[in-house]
Amino acid sequence: MTSSEASPSFRLAYVPGVTPTKWVRIWNERLPDVPLTLIPVSAAEACAVLRDGGADAGFLRLPVDRTDLAAIPLYTETTVVVVPKDHLITAFDEVTAEDLADEIVLHPLDETLEWEHRPGLPALERPATTADAIELVAAGVGLLVVPQSLARLHHRKDLTYRPVSDAPASRVALSWPQEETTDLVEDFIGIVRGRTVNSTRGRSQAPAPAQPKVKRPEAPATRRKPAGGKPGGKTAGKPVGKSGGKSPRSGSGGSGGSGGSKGSGRRGKPRRRS
């Protein structure tokens, strides 16, 4: 990847039938400071626009010359035949190229399908564009085989379409000049490929700032138990204000406080009885 300065905007070309709305919305959410400019181009001029620097990347139809253009295939479209609503073909869910053998099939100059053998009978003149060919179908001049997205783009109330099961398919790709794979191009590739904002692929992201470590509160110190399994401390296990054991001022059989035995309050040795 070549590094280059970020341009003030990202220019995205797209051919008829491609709807880039979803990708543009994601771009605006992720890079709100970099405006994305849409550039509609015809299928015939799409590659030239990329080569001449008219767009940073573009949605176009394959094939492309990969000598100087990179391309990521995205999806394949169904091919359909556009017919008037009262045509016999509308009686079928789908048709084959052989079913069109006796019909005049229009081949506009901007056709995107690659035929080995074009179906149907050729018209006297080739329409300049797909839009012109649609008008001729509506006038009853002939039929038109196109990718389904183009049939929807040029929808008319008096026309409909049916799939052509064995017709060549049209593939849509994201393309850009290989020598101009900028950071913005990498960003858009990531969006198209469904990468998340935090994906490690594509454009490198600045490392997140280190979060300060939170110290856990220390556990309270465990009190040691005295030998013999008795609780420590002078008043451990006893109500406050009451002393346990013998009174320090009593004799061997006395107890402290009122209600004790006689003589519990005398000091010295007991008198000997005569």
Mean pLDDT across the chain = 81
CB atoms within 10 A of CB 27: 21
Structure confidence at residue 197 (pLDDT): 76
Residue 191 has pLDDT above 60, yes or no: yes
Out of 1-5, 20-24, 90-94, 221-225, which region has the weakest mean confidence (pLDDT)? 1-5
The predicted-structure confidence for 96-152, as pLDDT tens digits, reads as follows 999 999 999 999 999 989 999 999 999 999 999 999 999 999 999 999 999 999 999
Contact 211, 100 (CB under 8 A): no
Element containing residue 191 per DSSP (H, E) = helix 183-192
Out of 2-11, 30-39, 217-226, which region has the weakest mean confidence (pLDDT)? 217-226
Structure confidence at residue 73 (pLDDT): 96
Nearest to 19 by CA among 148, 176, 161, 166: 148
Give the separation between CA 147 and CA 163, rounded to whole angstroms. 9
Out of 47-51, 71-75, 92-96, 192-196, which region has the weakest mean confidence (pLDDT)? 192-196
Structure confidence at residue 10 (pLDDT): 97
Largest Cα–Cα distance of the chain, in whole Å? 160
- Could you give phi then psi for residue 172, rounded to 5 degrees? -100, 140
Tokens of 188: 């858009």
State the pTM of this model.
Answer: 0.68
Nearest to 187 by CA among 176, 51, 52: 176
Would you give the distance in Å from CA 132 to the centre of its chain? 39
How are strands ordered across the β-sheet holding 10-14?
A: 36-40, 10-14, 57-61, 170-177, 69-77
Structure confidence at residue 258 (pLDDT): 44
The predicted-structure confidence for 212-257, as pLDDT tens digits, reads as follows 555 565 555 555 555 555 554 444 444 444 444 444 444 444 444 4
Region 45-56 average pLDDT: 96
Structure confidence at residue 256 (pLDDT): 45
Give the separation between CA 228 and CA 255, rounded to whole angstroms. 25
Residues of the chain with pLDDT > 90, as a percent, come to: 66
- CA 10, 11, 14 angle in degrees (round to 5)? 135
Give the separation between CA 105 and CA 141, rounded to whole angstroms. 9
Structure confidence at residue 45 (pLDDT): 93
Structure confidence at residue 38 (pLDDT): 97
Structure confidence at residue 60 (pLDDT): 96
